[in-house]
Structure 1
Amino acid sequence: MKLKLITTILVLGLGITSILSGCNSTSVATKSENKADLSNSEVKNDSSNETISNETISNETISNKENENKVEDSQKVSDTTKEKESSKNLKEKSNEYQLVSKDYSKNNVKINYPEIKNSNNNEKLKSINKYLKECALKVLDDYVKDDPNLEKVNLNVNYDVKFKNEKYISIVYNGEVNVKGTAYPSSIFYTTNVDLESGNIIRLSDYSNVDDILNKLKDSKNIKVIAENDELAAAQKDFILNIGNDKLINMIKNADFHKVNGKIESPKEGVYSYLYKDSVVISIKVNHAIGDHAEFTLIKK
């Protein structure tokens, strides 16, 4: 009886021990699994962090490239702007010019005329200055035929620049001549217009519509006469209004100095023009009693 009891107790003890052992094993396994899960979670987190970090680096790289591209584009724009400004400054510099006075003197003859100077003393500029001198001295042709040495001529002419910009220049010559043996001195008036871009002298018909000029000259309300007094202005206005249209249109068409076979020729009718501010001024020969020449200002539209 005692032996059975002891045996039963031993069996129960072994069973309890086995159960406890199984629990411990399960606990260890669970702990091991938890550790494994934690490790995997850390790995995943590390991987996720690496991915985020890589994305951040990638975004920063893209951002840096975009900034670099913007800087390059900005630099290109800046360089292009500088090139344009440099080109513009160079063009403006080439268009800058100054006028210096030259003079021709012989016995009692003196004529002042301008010469153009700028930073580009090229062939075109030399050609312009050649024309300016020839036009200024062309007035002497009327006297050297009978007096080659100009011994009987007392002549004095000065110039005035009435208009100038980067394209055109208009010069007026005004003076007086007294030839030995004549009853009285006469007024001298002529002009020279130059196209600085082409390097040529130009006429009224080159820069204005001659039909429009005719209509304005025939409109008594439109004409403004440049004269010393109202009486003289009225007489000069009547003079031009009495010129027939056919004759006047021919005078306008043939106005100003012009080149013939490379040589400067004077207008046959003695009509000249010049630019002044927003106007065109026409000079026409008139009787000595009313001034020798008359100037009419026509507003350009």
Structure 2
Amino acid sequence: MKNNYFILFLSAIFFCTIAASILLMAGNAAFASGIEFKTATHTDKLIKINYPQISGMSDAAKMSKINALIKDHALAIKSPFAEELKDVEMDGNYTIEYIGSNILSVKYCVFANVKNAAHPVDVIAAANIDLNALKTLKLSEVVTVDQSLVELFLKGGYVPRGEDLDLSSAGALKDIIAGFDKKELLTRFKDPSAAFYFTKDSLVISAEVIHAAGDHAEFAVSYKDLGKALLLKPEGFSKLK
């Protein structure tokens, strides 16, 4: 089983690289109402993180603030490795998971390797920006974080990281779910750094798993199942301007 986990982890790195290449080729693709996302890149020694920047908004001041929030979050991905920045290699790319009139969700897939470490790490990060309040959102600001959320997470829909990393088809998903500690999940979800993002119909939350299984796993909880626990519901893209 451990060998299967390791193969899945290596496959995830390959998938992220391919997905990033496709994304960069479409980096200037236009969205509705003339809005475009263009790719910017932060480099620092062996660190390279791609992140989006918006162009085409009629409100230049608002667009500048949104772009600053996106950039600040992208650069903050380095924070957990602050003490090893001289010895860390990072390669990060993004996907736009949701763009609406009130919320923008940007997900990052980051490969990090610290010199002399036992193994590299597959990091997930996500910037969820309130386009009205112009701030980066924490999980506790968009959903009620309690034991009920933990239960919904465990019953949620597993989100494979591409065909090359699917714990379900590999027969490992049940073991991963059984290995979660509910108290630890609740503590993690309350942490300001908890990783999550919006999609058209679900809130996707990430939790740490063993390295051999990919370092993290994502589960989608539908807005319908969240009900009143959902404190901020995504709205349509047409109202962005």
1:186 matched residue in structure 2: 121
Aligned mates of 1:121, 1:101 — CA distance in 2:
20
Q: TM-score, normalised by structure 1?
A: 0.56
Q: 1:118 aligns with which of 47, 53, 56?
A: 56
State yes or no: 1:243 paired with 2:185: no
Aligned mates of 1:216, 1:119 — CA distance in 2:
37
Amino acid at match of 2:69: Y
**Which one has more relative contact order, counting CA pairs under 8 Å at least 6 apart?**
2
Query: What is the number of equivalent residue pairs in this alignment?
Result: 185
Unaligned runs of 5+ residues in structure 1 are 1-93, 256-266
Counting helix residues as a fraction of each chain, which structure ranks higher? 1
1:196 matched residue in structure 2: 131
1:63 matched residue in structure 2: none
RMSD between aligned residues? 2.2
Contact 1:226 1:233 in 2 (8 A): no
Contact 1:235 1:290 in 2 (8 A): no
State yes or no: 1:253 paired with 2:190: yes
Contact 2:89 2:112 in 1 (8 A): yes
Aligned mates of 1:243, 1:168 — CA distance in 2:
29
1:216 matched residue in structure 2: 152
Aligned mates of 2:135, 2:223 — CA distance in 1:
22
Q: 2:209 aligns with which of 283, 286, 293?
A: 286
Q: Could you give the per-residue CA deviations for residues 168-211 of structure 1, whole angstroms, max 9, x where no partner exists?
A: 11111002111111122110111110111221111222222324
Q: Assess, with a 3 A threshold, how the Cα gap between structure 1 residues 108 and 127 changes in structure 2: closer, same or farther.
A: same
Q: Could you give the per-residue CA deviations for residues 22-74 of structure 1, whole angstroms, max 9, x where no partner exists?
A: xxxxxxxxxxxxxxxxxxxxxxxxxxxxxxxxxxxxxxxxxxxxxxxxxxxxx
State yes or no: 1:295 paired with 2:218: yes
Pairing 1:76-225 to 2, within 5 Å after superposition: 97-147=35-85, 150=86, 152-211=87-146, 212-218=148-154, 222-225=155-158
Give, in angstroms, the shift of residue 143 of structure 1.
2.8
Aligned mates of 1:182, 1:287 — CA distance in 2:
16
Contact 1:170 1:192 in 2 (8 A): yes
Amino acid at match of 2:210: N
Amino acid at match of 2:207: I
Aligned mates of 1:285, 1:139 — CA distance in 2:
16
